[in-house]
Structure 1
Amino acid sequence: MPGICARCDKNVYFAEEKIALGKSWHKLCFNCASCRKMLDSTTAAEHDDELYCRSCYSKKFGPKGYGYGGGAGVLSMDDGTGYKNGPVRSNVSHLAQAHVAPLLGPPAPKPTGPKKFGGADLCARCGKAVYMAEKMMGGGKAWHISCFVCSGCSKRLESITLCEREGDLYCRTCYGKNFGPKGYGFGIGAGVLQMS
């Protein structure tokens, strides 16, 4: 015996049957109640015995408010045409108002880093050309594999042991010794495990 479609209340035969929420649906009736997008088992969401796609479900029934697509951090299509005269400052003392710096010319171009030699980056440590087969990236610069070592102990570095300071690379141990906190309780006193 055929089932009854939950959307159109007509008979559903086995060849065109989709089962969801314990009900039978026609393949063409198994779509979003809002946007009519066709659904499958991974994109279907239910609310009050109706089917919705994930995006329509979250728009209609998801959390609302700050941090959920309606607050200040959301991309706005406002072009600012309604603010021609600036913000209202009538009840704010002139001493409490923030200074707005005048607009300057275009910003100065950023330096592009080390000069390139024949299309190859230059190594930040030795200054020679670094080609793709021997290139390591760290601290925003290119390095030879042999130059990609700690400045303190010359230990080979990996992405998880890399620390960068003022253009030089360090292992975690040397970085902690040279730039970490100093004093009692920070690894300088007696009874401390030494990593040398």
Structure 2
Amino acid sequence: MAGMGRRRLRQCGLILIQHLCYLLAGEGGPQTGTMTECFDCDNCKESLYGRKYIQMDNGPYCIPCYDAHFANTCDECKELIGHDCRELYYEDRHYHEHCFRCFRCDRSLADEPFTCQDEELLCNDCYCSEFSSKCVACEKTVMPGSRKLEYNGQTWHEHCFICSSCQQPIGSRSFIPDEKDYYCVPCYESKFAPRCTRCKKSLTKGGVTYRDEPWHKECFVCTGCKTPLAGQQFTSQDDNPYCVKCFGNLYAKKCSACTKPITGFDGGKYVSFEDRHWHHNCFNCARCKTSLVGKGFIPDNDEIFCRDCSNDL
């Protein structure tokens, strides 16, 4: 068989590299020579004296016999590829050099990168023009194999997909769409996320709302003791939040009986008389300890008595 040289051709994009072979007579293949003594073609038996021939493993062949028996047929023009022609080989198909062309623009692919689409050979330009998408940002072709980003049916070059705020490529990082704009997470949080009432930093998740204002959980603390109030009972004084203990110590009325704060939490009720206050369970007769809640009573200096005990005094 004719000698074969092999050359790799780079393909467009991610398509697998194809192998293009050149079958050239005289390059590592069967030898061509001349004879000066009696020597016959192995096929037609005609003398090769003074003629060119090709030496095969099973004997010498004259040029016409070699082409007739060993030459391949061009897949494009269907004619034999003679021993003196440059032959191109691709995917079990053979071509004359001038027949190995782009199916669309007819450009020679002998020394060009190419690909195959539905059995059609295409140069890079034709393939990209017909099958590659366009970058939404720069409107240029996104070449196969180049790094790109696809979102919501649109395509960008990786370097063209940038944050609408800081103008830096987003790359493989998370992003947040906002109508026709796209933001990296830090820029979106800085631009749109609510800010904590106390520390003024962005509040991206969790948090609590107090008086229609957002707070980080760790920032929403008692004004007095700084204990976190998220998930705890609290109240306010002058728009400032306080835990139950601090509010009771600082602002609550004190029970005239037990001197502890009267906060009203947990359904607690109290009784007031003049400038004095009692827990319900502390509003008892000072002598017989009977509850005076809802009953008449007689005050005597700092103490209170039921009517019966008052009469016995």
TM-score by length of 2: 0.20
Q: Whose Rg is larger?
A: 2
- Answer 1 or 2: which has greater helix percent: 2
